[in-house]
A and B are shown apart, each in its own frame.
Chain A
């Protein structure tokens, strides 16, 4: 019990983070191998599927490049700046790390919901959702600005009073947990787990383009946030993965940038400055209202 309340050093945390990072990758490779074998056995293997998986990894490489050159230092600057305004003085112990992970999942829930419901944020997050397949490689399919939006929500952990390094570690941990959700080989887990935790079943729903599955199951590690805030859906009918309008390509450049390209094109073609700006904040699928009838000449009869 003592150790739970003892101080955890920054060195211990970053060592642990590196260790977790390595094992997530090893396990994901193992699971992906099983998935490929299953595709083969079921006759579902195709060049297209392999191309899509390769593209997923390429988007990850591009995303990491942007993260390392821009966003990690931005995280540092924003977090250490925000720490000046900390509400509580929180020491770094295993207890506070666990509390921080739970709260990091709550901020993740809202950040994730934001990226689905605000047009300009969806432009980057829709990359993750644009694969028509669902396997370990999709976990690595990221858009260019995914980190930018996450900062807005994760910074609250630091404002509450968690050490910037702890907040960063916990936010990363919430993402790493989700790697294992991207698989079809796990059907349903025992109900207490399905009730509290986010599982492959819940996350398949999140990746579904079926009308009843749209904008559901935003949680990272825990599904209780969706149950609490009314965004939960159970996996019942088979999931159709991808966007409501499939992008129909595995070209890595198009996959990585299609969200922002579409957003830009839509903004340009939307008439009126007000509607252009609204396009940036309204949910995907939003269309500007038709001009009101009063402005048309009255039909002559």
Chain B
């Protein structure tokens, strides 16, 4: 066609970088349904009998230490696993297998829920067991939009990293 190709390697590199970043930006602007309508989440099924948020944790590998559940209502706090700006927090003696932790006071939403299995009970966030609502795989860190659930119940499966 009439267009002249780019022959300079430097210009080609800049064009390539621009296409990569532009494509990434475009792909990042596509948000899944949970983003625009947090009222209907795939995980948070409203349970009419139950008030508040019920967190069902499965895959707890041992009864060592504590299961720590932290609930956030803003993206930044979730992203940094903030130990200050959370809306609710519970710690319970770990039970092998499945556990349920109730937050009857959480009736607003949307919330993002994280679970940490502090096996050595040192109260530090080291690489033991973790899970976040909406998480799809061991190395997935869901953004708040995807992690968001409404009051009702939410199920989290533990991932272990050591």
Give the residues in chain A near B28, CB-CB below 8 Å: 88-91, 96, 161
Q: How many A-B residue pairs have CB under 8 A?
A: 85
Shortest CB distance B8–A (Å): 9
Cβ-neighbour of B139 out of A87, A99, A164, A230 (below 8 A): A164
Q: Which residues of B contact A10 (CB under 8 A)?
A: 136-137
Assign chain A's interface to a size class.
35 or more
Closest to B139 in A: A80
Segment at the interface with B among A1-9, A47-55, A207-215: A1-9
Residues of A with C-beta under 8 A to B21? 87, 160
The stretch that binds A, out of B30-38, B49-57, B125-133, is B30-38
Contacts of A161 in B (CB 8 A): 24, 27-28
Minimal Cβ-Cβ distance residue in B for A102: B23
Query: Bound state CA distance, A278 and B23, in angstroms?
Result: 35
Q: With an 8 A cutoff between CB atoms, is B124 at the interface? A: no
A229, B9: Cα distance in complex, Å = 8
Q: Once bound together, how far apart are the Cα atoms of A103 and B26, in whole Å?
A: 12
Q: Is the CB of A230 within 8 A of B7?
A: yes
Question: Cβ of A99 and Cβ of B27 under 8 Å apart?
Answer: yes
Q: Are the CB atoms of B19 and A91 closer together than 8 Å?
A: no
Are A95 and B30 in contact (CB-based, < 8 A)?
Answer: yes
**Proximity string of chain A (159-190) to chain B, C-beta cutoff 8 Å, 1 when within and 0 when not:** 01111110000000000000000000000000
Decide if A106 touches B16 in the complex (CB within 8 Å).
Answer: yes
Q: B20 an interface residue at 8 Å Cβ cutoff?
A: yes
Tell me, yes or no, whether B116 is within 8 Å of chain A by CB: no
> Which single member of A91, A106, A227 contacts B30 (CB below 8 Å)?
A91
Task: Closest A residue to B12 by CB, please name it.
Answer: A229
Closest beta carbon of chain B to A225's beta carbon, Å: 9
B15 at the interface (CB under 8 A from A): yes
The verdict on A88 contacting B27 (CB below 8 Å), with A80-B139, A164-B139 known, is: yes
Which residue among A83, A89, A161 has the maximum number of chain B CB atoms within 10 Å of its CB? A89
Contact A230–B27 (Cβ < 8 Å)? no
Known: A164-B139, A232-B5. 4 other contacts (CB 8 A): A93-B30, A96-B27, A96-B30, A102-B23
Q: What are 19 inter-chain pairs, A to B, with CB distance below 8 A?
A: A5-B31, A87-B21, A87-B24, A88-B25, A91-B30, A91-B32, A96-B30, A100-B23, A100-B27, A102-B23, A103-B23, A110-B16, A161-B24, A162-B24, A162-B27, A228-B5, A229-B5, A229-B7, A230-B7
Residues of A within 8 A of B (CB): 2, 5-7, 9-10, 80, 83, 87-93, 95-96, 99-100, 102-103, 106-107, 110, 156, 160-165, 227-232
